[in-house]
Amino acid sequence: MLKFPIYADYNATTPVDKLVLEAMLPYFTQHFGNAASRGHIMGLDADEAIINARKQVANLIGATDKEIIFTSGATESINLALKGVFSLYRTKGNHIITVQTAHKAMLESCEFIEKMGGEVTYLPVDKNGLVSPAVVEAAMKPTTILVALLHANNETGVIQPLREISKVVHRHGAIVFSDAAQAIGKIKIQVDDDGIDLMAISAHKIYGPKGVGALYIRRKNPRVTLAPQIHGGGHERGLRSGTQNVPGIVGLGHAAMLCGAEMKEESLRLAALRARLEKGLLEIPRTFINGKVAERLTHVTNICFEGIDSGTVLNGFNRKIAISTGSACSSALPSPSHVLQAMGLTAQEASASFRFSLGRFSTEEEVDYIVEQVQLHVGMYRAQNPAWDETKGKIIKDAAMIEK
């Protein structure tokens, strides 16, 4: 039996898995010690829990536990990585390369670095949202110190060819940063094989709690060092001062462990669910998938329904379906998606698009209901919109001209 609202916005956040919550609970009331208080058993218990979580996160990405720094989330990890590299490597160079479809946390960090005297190149993407190794190669300079990319896009699920790009970047002696907030736990990531030197991780994207994340920092070949952005106390090897969030860190570690164990099977299940969803939605006329040709995360699809306003249609669902018109980081902003427009969509097409992201608790019954409701409400909007009649007439006329 369906329970409302039906949730299909797993890229925005995920519910905490009950197993993760069970692992966290003792560290709120029973093992509540400060991990920095190693002079007594309560502090030692908390420190041991953090050590274990560090290993769990490291195991998921093929790193060592000493390469994991805990933060408050991916946004902080991104800020620490980009600003930390820029601050410490300025004697070598001041040039950073990123991509136009990056998350706002990355774009705004780059804008801040520009104000501090840095130079940033924002690479364009093709119609599928991809940046090629050749485009990265052409943008490299002797002063380039960092190339920062989304591992998988938060709006379309498009996966960048990071392994090939990293070879280009390393050939020029620069550092590779991956914002893996959406990719971690969904696809296999091995930092050595993929050539990743820095990587941002978020707990709440993988069924862990909000307010905790991690930053992977390579320790050798090459050894990457960062300038701290938060000072005071020397926690997390001096890179992120502040009393450690022991329950949250335990939750992140347990969530990482569960994702590692279930990733392959879950990916196949979600791929089948997405195929079912796309099949039903593409039955609607004048509909197309954004980034369809590219390799994508199996649980995400971003679809344009020509001639609609996605915000208006979303309101029509009467809170029974939770889907997104863009990324959660910028959905409160009135402007159309910068990601979709960078891929070549018009402002109107971007405003006519929905992101559907499925997850661990999604079912076939839920998918079928989403398809039914989207078909209904898109049809209703178009029927009531005179502009759609004009568009439809133009389509028929153009088709007739082609036939002649």
Q: Which residues are catalytic?
A: 329
Neighbours of 316 (CB within 10 A): 15
Q: Nearest CA to 60 among 247, 241, 186, 195?
A: 186
In this structure, are strands 68-71 and 95-99 parallel, antiparallel, or unpaired? unpaired
d(CA 243, CA 120): 34
d(CA 317, CA 376): 10
Query: Any residues with CB less than 8 A from the CB of 198 and at least 6 apart, and which?
Result: 81, 85, 175, 176, 177, 178, 215, 216, 217, 218, 224
d(CA 58, CA 191): 10
d(CA 177, CA 170): 12
Per-residue DSSP letter, 329: T
Q: CB–CB of 273/362 below 8 Å?
A: yes
Q: Which helix (H) or strand (E) holds 296?
A: none
d(CA 339, CA 394): 28
Q: Which residue has the tokens 């820029």?
A: 86
Q: Nearest CA to 303 among 361, 370, 349?
A: 349
Q: Nearest CA to 31 among 44, 18, 16?
A: 44
- DSSP β-bridge partners for residue 179: 150, 200
